[in-house]
């Protein structure tokens, strides 16, 4: 896990390949849905060098974009009105957006969910009558998989090799960009 994330400013955005783009010739082009990934931009508060060093080393290890880490979005990675163990109650196929779930409480719209054994995190677009509408469509089918609804982990890798730690006296500023890593 990337340290000190709770204290950081975390922006999450979607790189959505299903968006239609228009070429110079006016031809519309669409891209493959399975390539949708979540992008994270993390800006840590200024840290004393002693605390920043641990974070610098963790980020340096990820240079080359070969290593992965876990990121938990500090706000959107839990559902405050849901509790206990959740699971898929009715099987769903890859490509579907509706997932029947069993659990206690309500899932929050706009928050994330991930299923055990899957690397893709999904956003809850709607939750009604124990059925969640997720975005994007399921990449893999679900049976009675466990649904992770609290501290939803995103497996990420660095999007570039740039590492830069501006220092002002004993204070260090650190920021980094990450991309969801799909298996």
Per-residue model confidence as pLDDT tens digits over 100-158: 999 999 999 999 999 998 989 999 999 999 999 999 999 999 998 999 999 999 999 98
User: If you classify domain 82-150 with CATH, what class do you get?
Assistant: mainly beta
Per-residue model confidence as pLDDT tens digits over 55-82: 888 888 887 667 888 888 989 999 999 9
Q: Is 127 helix (H, G, I), strand (E, B) or coil?
A: strand
Domain(s) labelled CATH 2.40.30.290 in the chain stretch across 82-150
Name residue, tokens 């990121």: 71
CB 101 within 8 A of CB 131: yes
| Distance from C-alpha of 40 to C-alpha of 11, rounded to nearest angstrom | 6
164 sits in the region (left: phi over 0; alpha: psi -120 to 50; else beta) called beta
pLDDT for 90 beyond 60: yes
Q: What is the pTM of this model?
A: 0.84
């Amino acid at each position: 896990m990337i340290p000190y994330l709770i204290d950081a400013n975390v922006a999450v955005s979607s790189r959505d390949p299903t968006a239609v783009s228009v070429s110079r010739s006016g031809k519309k082009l669409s891209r493959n849905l399975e390539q949708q990934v979540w992008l994270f931009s993390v800006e840590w508060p200024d840290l004393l060098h002693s605390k920043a060093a641990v974070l610098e080393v963790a980020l340096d290890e990820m240079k080359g974009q070969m290593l992965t880490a876990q990121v938990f979005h500090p706000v959107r990675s839990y559902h405050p009105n849901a509790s206990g163990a959740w699971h898929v109650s009715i099987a769903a196929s890859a490509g579907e957006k509706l997932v029947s779930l069993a659990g206690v409480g309500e899932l929050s719209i706009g928050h994330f969910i991930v299923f055990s054994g899957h690397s893709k995190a999904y956003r809850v677009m709607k939750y009604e009558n124990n059925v969640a509408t997720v975005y994007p469509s399921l990449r893999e089918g679900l049976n009675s998989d466990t649904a992770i609804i609290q501290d939803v982990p995103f497996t990420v890798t660095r999007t570039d090799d740039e590492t830069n730690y501006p220092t002002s006296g004993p204070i260090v500023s650190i920021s980094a960009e990450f991309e969801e890593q799909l298996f």
